[in-house]
Each structure stands twice: as C-alpha cells, then as structure tokens.
C-alpha cells in the first residue's frame, strides 16, 4: 500500500466509505453462523404460517417458545437434571473403565485378541434394541439408564485411546527402554501423555453420545428426564413442547462438548492442533 | 539396572568381541546385519562409525546401549558384558525425540523423572547449567515445538549429558539437520567434548563430519556389516574450520569414499 501511484487517496471523503464497508463485512463474517441460524428460523416461521402447517406436524419457532414457557421452570430443571445426571454417570463410568481397559488392550496381545472381538460385538449390537432387555434385567431407577449410556459411550473411548497408545513413536519407547524404566512408568510418562489428543477427541464425541444414551434409556423406562418428557408430550400431541425439549437437549449437548474442549484447552494446551492454539 | 562401575583407564571403555547380529524376518528368512565385528574404544576416545545405509551401524549402537542383544559374540563396557541399559551410558537419537508435553527443562530432566520418579533440586540446577552450555538457557520454559531442529537436538544432547555419563552414544544425531546447522552442531559437540571429555561412539554417514570429530573412524561394509578398516584420523586438535582445508583431511576423505564404494566382492 506504500506505492503512491496506486493507492494515493484523492479525497478523504471517499476513503471513509470503504472503511465502513469493510467493518460491516467483518461483522457479517464474524456473525455468519448466528445470522444463518436466525435466517433459517425466520424462514421456518414464515413457511409454517404461509402454508398453514398444523402445530402437531411442525410448530413454528414462536409456538415452540410459547410451549416452553407454558411448562413450569421447576419441571424443566427436574427433567434436565435427570438427563444430565444419567448422562454424566454413564460417561464417567465409560471413562473410568474405558481408559484403563484401553491401556490393558494396547499392552497385551492376549487381551487384545480375546477381548477386542467381544467389544466389537457389543458395539455392533443396536443399543436401542438391547435397552428394553437391560431395563428388565436391572430393574427401575438410574441403574439401567446409566448402563445404557455407558454402553453407547465407552466404545469410542476405548478404540481411540488404544489407537493413541499404539501410535506412540518407537523412538520415544526406545528412549524409555534405554533408561531402564518400568513398564508402568512407560505407560504413565510416555504412552498416555502421547495419547491425550486421541483421548480428547473420543471424549468430545462420547459426551454427546452420553446425552443420546440417556434419552434412549428414558424412552424405554423413566418417569423423568428430557427423553421421557418428549415421549410424554408427543403422546398428548403437545408437539411444540416436545420441540422445546429437543432444543434443550441440543443446547445441553453443545455445552458439554464445549466443556470437554475447554478442559483440554486448560489442562493440556500442548495437545491442541496448531490451528486451534 | 546394573550398578554404576568406576571408569578404569586400564580397561577399554567399550569392547565389541566378534559381535554378530542376525534378524529373522516375518517371512521365515533371516538378515545378517552384523558379522564378526571386533574393536575397542579407549576411555575418552571419539570414534565415528561410517558406512553405507543398512550396514548395521545403528544396530551396533543399540547393542552397546543394551537395547538389542547380539546373536553372536558379546559387547562389554569396562570389561563387563552388556546385558541391559546401563547407567554410564547416555544416548542421543537420530531424531531429538523430545516429549511435546514437557517444556525444555523438564525434557532435560526427564531421564531422572522416568527412572526414579522424581527430580532433585541439584538435578534441576544441573539441567539449567547444561542448557546454558548448549546455549538454550533462555528457552528452559519453552515447548519443544517452539524450537528449531538444531535447538531441539541441542536439548537432546543436554538430556543425554544430565547424569554425566562416561560414555556417549550418538546415532546420526545431526542427520536430520540442514547442512549449515550441521557444521555448527559439529563444532558445538567438539567444544562440549573438550569441556567434558567422554568416550563417544558416533554413528554417521557423513565423511566430513566423521573426520572433523573423531580420533578414529571405523569404516563398515554393507550386508553383512563388517569392519572394513579402522582409520587413525591424526588431524591436530583443537579442530576448526581450517581443519576442513588441510590436505590430510581430503586425503583421508577420498580414501574413505573409495572404501565405502568399493564393491564387497573385492574386499
């Protein structure tokens, strides 16, 4: 921009407009995802009104908001807490079992040959189909719901952690062995830290799966929770209310996903890809 | 881990006694990496091992490091057969092999943390001194990925020197660096070696690098790896940029080149 022949401004009045234009473009660029979402809601609202879609088929966004407000806050909080409680318990259990199991699988050929096929079978079983059976076996209460959530969340954690552990560069393992350190220290000081980016990518996916697991469990057997609330609302054709619960679930899922990302950012900043630093 | 033995000037620091190494492949075949390799390193001697790719020079280093057991003969350190990794040995790998989750200082003290589970204040201080020696005292709290390749390998050298090993094994440590950094690192290593004399086994495939650094050069032949010739470099120390233009430097360089490229059948 230093070349005088090209960019010498002729008058100050002309210069201000492009600047403002650029600022406006920047705002539009920053807010693009938000604007797109708002635009979509607007189209939804207008289309429903224009074609007079009945509320029990597809409610307008405004009807959904009204439906949400019609339900008491304590009722919302109760359902949210029920879903969150089950999701987080199942997720915590999956992390607590999945990561040590992954360490065992990555370090033992025998274990990986005997246990891994079983894990694949479990993963290949549609959990939604197994859910009623689990409810019969484990009875009422949180236990079957936590079990279903656990089954949905733990496989990605195990697979991704094993992948990370086995991806440890041979040179790092040679460094460890040249120091004559124990196998346990090798896992703790080299393999696990190396697997951290892999573990976190699984933790991010699994936390959203945990919400799915809890909702599936609530469909099958529950007297509270957002999944139960959706099933209950639709059975009474309170579709706007069901959509509102869906919106809450999406928000919950996004919040947990961001929370896991934030945890990685705070505790393991070195493990982020360069683009995210 | 064996206990550290007192270096003894009368015994060779490193001795390879008819060492052979045969690797069996997964297809049932086998590859002879080393055959009947015998030579000794005196204490505080700098020996470079040079040879074409696949001549088993890295295997030689792994044997003396206790990472690989030879299938024939034996390797000794101060007269004791090597059965596993030893205290008096420090290793610098081909790649810096720094741990990205630790800062530079913690990478240098990592061997202590890994072996003993903790790092003493004295070791921490020593890490600081070593970093100063390799010119990285201002980078102690940086992460490895913030450092250039040459700087990373300096950290690798500082790490290998932390427990003040009597023997330093270096496996093509500068081969991943650009030519200019490489020369700079060679002189840096000479300076460190002069300050703290050590027995060095230096694997390389660069003839000028071997000539600049070593007291003796072991020339190896490829497949199977055998000792073709042991050359006394005989260039005066301290060596500098001027060493590179001495007639004897070129004389030996040409001689080694001829040795390396001579077909095995004529050996």
**Contact between chains at B99 and A193 (C-beta distance less than 8 A):** yes
| pTM exceeds 0.80 | yes
Please give the pLDDT value at position B5.
Answer: 60
Instruction: Please give the structure tokens belonging to residue B74.
Output: 């034996």
Question: B92: phi > 0 → left, psi -120 to 50 → alpha, else beta; which?
Answer: beta
Instruction: Please give the structure tokens belonging to residue B212.
Output: 């600049």
Those residues whose C-beta lies under 8 Å from the C-beta of residue A70, and which sit 6 or more positions away, are A241
B67 touches chain A (CB under 8 A): yes
Helices (H), chain B: 57-65, 104-116, 121-133, 149-161, 179-195, 207-213, 247-261
Backbone angles phi, psi at B15, to 5 degrees: -135, 125
Cα A27 versus chain centre, distance: 28
State yes or no: pLDDT of A14 exceeds 60. Answer: no
Secondary structure of chain A as H, E, C letters: CCCHHHHCCCCHHHHHHHHHHHHHHHHHHHCHHHHHHHHHHHHHHHHHHHCCCCCCCCCCHHHHHHHHHHCCHHHHHHHHHHHHHHHHHHHHHHHHHHHHHHHHHHHCHHHHHHHHHHHHHHHHCCHHHHHHHHHHHHCCCHHHHHHHHHHHHHHHHHHHHHHHHHCCCHHHHHHHHHCCCCHHHHHHHHHHHHHHHHHHHHHHHHHHHHHHHHHHHHHHCCCCCHHHHHHHHHHCCCHHHHHHHHHHHHHHHHHHHHHHHHHHHHHCHHHCCHHHC
In a mutational test of the B interface, the residue from A175, A176, A195, A274 whose CB has the highest number of chain B CBs within 10 Å is: A175
As for the ipTM of the complex, it is: 0.83
Pairing of strands B89-92, B167-171: parallel
State yes or no: pLDDT of A71 exceeds 80. Answer: yes
Other beta carbons within 10 Å of A265: 15
**Contact between chains at B101 and A193 (C-beta distance less than 8 A):** yes
CA–CA gap between residue A39 and residue A36 (Å, rounded): 5
Q: Which long-range contacts (CB under 8 A, 24 or more apart) does A69-75 make?
A: A70/A241, A71/A241, A71/A244
* Matching residue, tokens 């943390």: B113
Instruction: Please give the structure tokens belonging to residue A143.
Output: 């236990």
B176 touches chain A (CB under 8 A): no
What is the arithmetic mean of pLDDT over B149-160? 90
Using a CB-CB distance cutoff of 8 angstroms, which residues of chain B are in contact with residue A272? Answer: none
Instruction: Please give the structure tokens belonging to residue A247.
Output: 């919106």
B58 touches chain A (CB under 8 A): no
**CA-based nearest residue in chain A for residue B88:** A179
A83 touches chain B (CB under 8 A): no
**Contact between chains at B1 and A190 (C-beta distance less than 8 A):** no
Answer yes or no: are the C-beta atoms of B80 and B66 closer than 8 Å. Answer: no
**Contact between chains at A171 and B97 (C-beta distance less than 8 A):** yes
Please give the pLDDT value at position B2.
Answer: 46
**Contact between chains at B114 and A193 (C-beta distance less than 8 A):** no
pLDDT, tens only, A211-251:
999 999 998 887 899 999 999 999 998 999 999 999 999 99
**Contact between chains at A185 and B114 (C-beta distance less than 8 A):** yes
pLDDT, tens only, B208-259:
999 999 999 999 887 788 888 898 888 888 888 888 888 888 999 999 888 8
- In order, the DSSP letters of B192-216 are HHHHS--EEEEEES-HHHHHHH-SE
**Contact between chains at A271 and B91 (C-beta distance less than 8 A):** no
Distances (CA, A) of B20 to A93, B49, B181: 52, 16, 35
Q: What percent of chain B has pLDDT over 70?
A: 95
Q: What percent of chain A has pLDDT over 90?
A: 60
Higher-pLDDT residue of B68, A4: B68
B97 touches chain A (CB under 8 A): yes
Answer yes or no: are the C-beta atoms of B162 and B111 closer than 8 Å. Answer: yes
Those residues whose C-beta lies under 8 Å from the C-beta of residue A263, and which sit 6 or more positions away, are none
Q: Looking at the complex, report in whole angstroms how far the Cα of residue A270 sits from the nearest Cα belonging to chain B.
A: 6
Helix (H) or strand (E) holding B14: strand B14-24
Strands ordered across the beta sheet of B30-41? B30-41, B14-24, B72-77, B80-81
Sign of CA dihedral A243, A249, A252, A258: negative
CA–CA gap between residue B114 and residue A110 (Å, rounded): 27
A170 touches chain B (CB under 8 A): no
**Contact between chains at B111 and A179 (C-beta distance less than 8 A):** yes
Instruction: Closest CB to B85: pick one of A171, A177, A270.
Output: A177
Q: Name the residue ranges covered by the structural domains of chain B.
A: 1-88+167-267, 99-164
Answer yes or no: are the C-beta atoms of A204 and A227 closer than 8 Å. Answer: no
Q: Which of B75, B187, B66, B72 is nearest to B135 (CA)?
A: B187
Using a CB-CB distance cutoff of 8 angstroms, which residues of chain B are in contact with residue A193? Answer: 99, 101
Instruction: Closest CB to A172: pick one of B85, B94, B97.
Output: B97
Which residues between 115 and 154 in chain B have a beta carbon less than 8 angstroms from any beta carbon of chain A? 115, 117, 143, 145
CA–CA gap between residue B5 and residue B258 (Å, rounded): 40
Using a CB-CB distance cutoff of 8 angstroms, which residues of chain A are in contact with residue B107? Answer: none
What value does the mean pLDDT of chain B take? 86
**Contact between chains at A196 and B117 (C-beta distance less than 8 A):** no
**Contact between chains at B99 and A190 (C-beta distance less than 8 A):** yes
CA–CA gap between residue B107 and residue B89 (Å, rounded): 18
Cα B67 versus chain centre, distance: 14
pLDDT, tens only, B194-208:
888 899 999 998 999
State yes or no: pLDDT of B3 exceeds 80. Answer: no
Give the CATH H-level superfamily of domain B1-88+167-267.
P-loop containing nucleotide triphosphate hydrolases (3.40.50.300)
Name the pLDDT band for A3 (thresholds 50, 70, 90). very low
Q: Looking at the complex, report in whole angstroms how far the Cα of residue B2 sits from the nearest Cα belonging to chain A.
A: 10
Please give the pLDDT value at position A225.
Answer: 92
A171 touches chain B (CB under 8 A): yes
Sign of CA dihedral B137, B139, B144, B146: negative
Instruction: Please give the structure tokens belonging to residue A173.
Output: 């393992």
A42 touches chain B (CB under 8 A): no
B3 touches chain A (CB under 8 A): no
A148 touches chain B (CB under 8 A): no
State yes or no: pLDDT of A1 exceeds 50. Answer: no
Using a CB-CB distance cutoff of 8 angstroms, which residues of chain B are in contact with residue A168? Answer: none
CA–CA gap between residue B139 and residue B120 (Å, rounded): 20
A180 touches chain B (CB under 8 A): yes
Please give the pLDDT value at position B7.
Answer: 62
Q: Which of A151, A160, A225 is nearest to A195 (CA)?
A: A160
Using a CB-CB distance cutoff of 8 angstroms, which residues of chain B are in contact with residue A189? Answer: 110, 113-114
**Contact between chains at A185 and B117 (C-beta distance less than 8 A):** yes
Answer yes or no: are the C-beta atoms of B171 and B94 closer than 8 Å. Answer: yes
**Contact between chains at B143 and A270 (C-beta distance less than 8 A):** yes
Q: Looking at the complex, report in whole angstroms how far the Cα of residue B180 sits from the nearest Cα belonging to chain A.
A: 25
Backbone angles phi, psi at B201, to 5 degrees: -110, 115
């Amino acid at each position: 921009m230093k070349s005088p022949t090209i960019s010498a401004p002729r008058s100050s009045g002309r210069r201000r407009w492009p600047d403002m234009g650029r600022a406006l473009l920047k705002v539009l660029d920053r807010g693009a995802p938000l604007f797109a979402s708002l635009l979509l809601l607007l189209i939804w609202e207008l289309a429903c009104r224009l074609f007079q879609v009945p509320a029990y088929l597809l409610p307008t966004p405004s009807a959904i908001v009204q439906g949400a407000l019609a339900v008491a806050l304590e009722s919302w909080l109760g359902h949210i807490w029920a879903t969150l409680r089950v999701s987080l318990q199942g997720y915590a259990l999956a992390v607590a079992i999945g990561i040590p199991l992954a360490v065992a699988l990555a370090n033992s050929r025998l274990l990986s040959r005997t246990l891994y096929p079983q894990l694949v079978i479990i993963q290949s079983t549609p959990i939604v189909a197994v859910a009623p059976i689990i409810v019969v076996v484990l009875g009422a209460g949180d236990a079957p719901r936590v079990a279903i959530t656990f089954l949905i969340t733990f496989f990605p954690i195990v697979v991704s952690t094993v992948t990370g552990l086995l991806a440890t560069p041979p040179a790092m393992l040679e460094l460890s062995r040249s120091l004559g350190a124990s196998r346990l220290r090798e896992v703790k000081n080299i393999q696990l830290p190396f697997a951290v980016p892999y573990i976190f990518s699984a933790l991010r996916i699994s936390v959203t799966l945990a919400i799915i697991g809890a909702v599936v469990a609530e469909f099958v057997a529950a007297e509270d929770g957002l999944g139960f609330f959706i099933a209950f609302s639709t059975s009474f054709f309170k579709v706007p209310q069901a959509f509102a619960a869906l919106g809450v679930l999406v928000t919950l899922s996004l919040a947990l996903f961001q929370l896991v990302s934030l945890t990685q950012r705070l505790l393991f900043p070195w493990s982020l890809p360069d683009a995210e630093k | 881990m064996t206990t550290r033995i007192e270096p003894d000037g009368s015994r060779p620091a490193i001795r390879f006694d008819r060492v052979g190494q045969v690797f069996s492949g997964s297809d049932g075949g086998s590859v002879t990496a080393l055959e009947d390799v015998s030579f000794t390193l005196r204490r505080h001697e700098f020996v470079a091992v040079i040879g074409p790719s696949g001549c088993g020079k890295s295997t030689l280093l792994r044997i003396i490091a206790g990472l690989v057991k030879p299938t024939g003969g034996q390797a000794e350190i101060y007269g004791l057969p090597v059965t596993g990794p030893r205290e008096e040995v420090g290793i610098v790998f081909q790649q810096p092999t720094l741990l990205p989750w630790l800062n530079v200082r913690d990478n240098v003290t990592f061997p202590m943390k890994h072996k003993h589970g903790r790092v003493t204040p004295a070791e921490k201080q020593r890490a600081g001194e070593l970093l100063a020696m390799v010119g990285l005292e201002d980078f102690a709290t940086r992460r490895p990925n913030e450092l250039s390749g040459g700087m990373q390998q300096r950290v690798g050298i500082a790490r290998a020197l932390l427990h003040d090993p009597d023997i330093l094994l270096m496996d093509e440590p500068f081969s991943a660096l650009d030519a200019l950094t490489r020369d700079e690192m060679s002189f840096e290593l000479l300076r460190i070696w002069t300050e703290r004399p050590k027995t060095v086994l230096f694997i390389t495939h660069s003839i000028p690098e071997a000539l600049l650094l070593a007291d003796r050069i072991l020339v190896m032949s490829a497949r199977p790896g055998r000792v073709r010739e042991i050359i006394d470099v005989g260039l005066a120390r301290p060596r500098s940029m001027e060493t590179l233009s001495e007639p004897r430097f070129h004389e030996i360089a040409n001689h080694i080149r001829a040795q390396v490229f001579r077909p095995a059948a004529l050996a």
